Structure 1
Amino acid sequence: MKRLVPALILLLLLIGSVFFAQWRLQQTTIPELYEVPDFEFKSHLGNTYTNENFNDKITVANFIFTNCPGICPVMSRKMAVIYEKYETQKDVQFVSFSVDPERDSLQALIEYAENWGVADQRWQFLKTEKEAIETLYENGFKLGGELPRGHSGAFVLIDENGVIRGYYNYEEEESLTLLNEHIDHLKNNL
């Protein structure tokens, strides 16, 4: 009997902490920042990709270029980890926008996708004309920095209605943990 009481207390504490964690996640409020404006780009898969592809899915977006010697490989590696984490979740998708459309041909994007283990349509690499990506980058996603080399290192979370819900620093583990929590929160509220 003396052993049973501590075991029951431990069990109750464990159950309580699980319920508290669930309650905390449900109480999370993620601000609605900006609606992603209309756009039409070409995917590395050859199809047209528009802002309507964000409908009914949680999307993580970033901005890269394939011959980037700096942050792009690190960002893509971290995006690949998140992509793999949600590999069975068809309602979570990933988009990498090329900020160097003059050099990032569709073939270059195909090879880049293959390099990062992209095996399905859940992660697409997009390109368009220079002016269109600059407009979307600055006015749609509200990011700064001269393209291509000065582009942002943010992951951008977009909800199922095409609304930007947050920006997350690829260099900070706490920020990436928060990104995963916010993905889960939005998924649970689809």
Structure 2
Amino acid sequence: MKMTKGSRIAVISLVTTTVLGIVLLAGYIIRSRNQLPVLGEPGHRAGAFAFVNQAGQTITEQDVAGKVTVVEYFFTTCPGICKLMNRNLERVYKTFHDQPDFMILSHTVDPEADSAPVLQAYASGFGAESGNWQFLTGNKDSLYRMARQEYLLSVEDAGKTGTVDDFIHTQYVCLVDRERRLRGFYDATDSLSVAALILDVGRLLK
């Protein structure tokens, strides 16, 4: 069927409008992704801490000063999501392991069991080196306070909640910028969310 001149113009106009809409939408998404929100109350910044890493070294907020960090909570005997979370974080680690201004902080929620040697053995299963991927243990109250008050992440001692699992922790990780501001939460069990995390880490490192 032969198209009339008016029909051709209408089709061209529709295609042009559609393409323009896609371009504008893509531009909006890119701009939105480049402008990561600052989360928490106005002026909130993650505070001071002192924990021990898998190498037995004390790590404090001074060691992450000026760095982009990804914060996780887990435990080595976790029967559920922890291995999946850390397999996905291994992707993040491998992407940025040669960046001196990047670090992953993986905090145990079970410091009584997760000593530095235990964390060292666990970390080796993910090829993690203490320079860019710190597996941290320490005082339980301090670990939980940092999660809840500083990083706004949910952790619980199930002994106090009456649940079946020993410990409860979120599958979300927190992205923290060079100024210790919270910039995003990402589902570490979801590959697409982890891909978004990798993109956002790259943006903050620029």
Q: Is TM > 0.5 for Structure 1 vs Structure 2?
A: yes
SS for the counterpart of 1:84 is helix
Please list the CA deviations of residues 109-142 of structure 1 after superposition, one character each: whole Å capped at 9, or x if unmatched: 1101111111351101111111111211111111
Residue 72 in structure 1 maps to residue 82 in structure 2: yes
Which 5+ residue runs of structure 1 have no aligned equivalent? 1-16
**Residue pairs, 1:26-37, within 5 angstroms:** 28-33=34-39, 34-37=44-47
SS for the counterpart of 2:70 is strand
Give the 4+ runs in structure 1 shifted more than 2 A. Answer: 23-27, 171-174
SS for the counterpart of 1:35 is coil
SS for the counterpart of 2:93 is helix
- Tell me the TM-score normalized by structure 1: 0.81
1:27 offset after TM fit, Å?
Answer: 6.7
1:104 offset after TM fit, Å?
Answer: 0.5
CA separation in 2, counterparts of 1:109 and 1:97? 10
Q: Which region of structure 1 is more displaced relative to structure 2, 124-133 or 48-57?
A: 48-57
Q: 1:174 aligns with which of 192, 195, 200?
A: 192
SS for the counterpart of 1:132 is helix
CA contact (8 A) 1:25 1:185 kept: no
Residue 53 in structure 1 maps to residue 59 in structure 2: no
Larger Rg: 2
CA contact (8 A) 2:90 2:126 kept: yes
Over 3 Å counting, the alpha-carbon distance change for 1:59 and 1:180 in structure 2 is same
- Tell me the TM-score normalized by structure 2: 0.75
What is aligned with 2:118? 108
Q: Which region of structure 1 is more displaced relative to structure 2, 136-145 or 96-105?
A: 136-145
How many pairs align?
169
CA contact (8 A) 1:54 1:159 kept: no
Q: Which region of structure 1 is more displaced relative to structure 2, 170-179 or 51-60?
A: 170-179
SS for the counterpart of 1:150 is strand
What is aligned with 2:105? 95
The amino acid that maps onto 2:178 is E
CA separation in 2, counterparts of 1:26 and 1:145? 30
Q: Which region of structure 1 is more displaced relative to structure 2, 95-104 or 126-135?
A: 126-135
What is aligned with 1:158? 176
Over 3 Å counting, the alpha-carbon distance change for 1:88 and 1:174 in structure 2 is same
CA separation in 2, counterparts of 1:85 and 1:100? 28
CA contact (8 A) 1:60 1:158 kept: yes
CA separation in 2, counterparts of 1:27 and 1:138? 26
The amino acid that maps onto 1:31 is P
Please list the CA deviations of residues 86-123 of structure 1 after superposition, one character each: whole Å capped at 9, or x if unmatched: 12222211110011001101110110111111135110
The amino acid that maps onto 2:35 is T
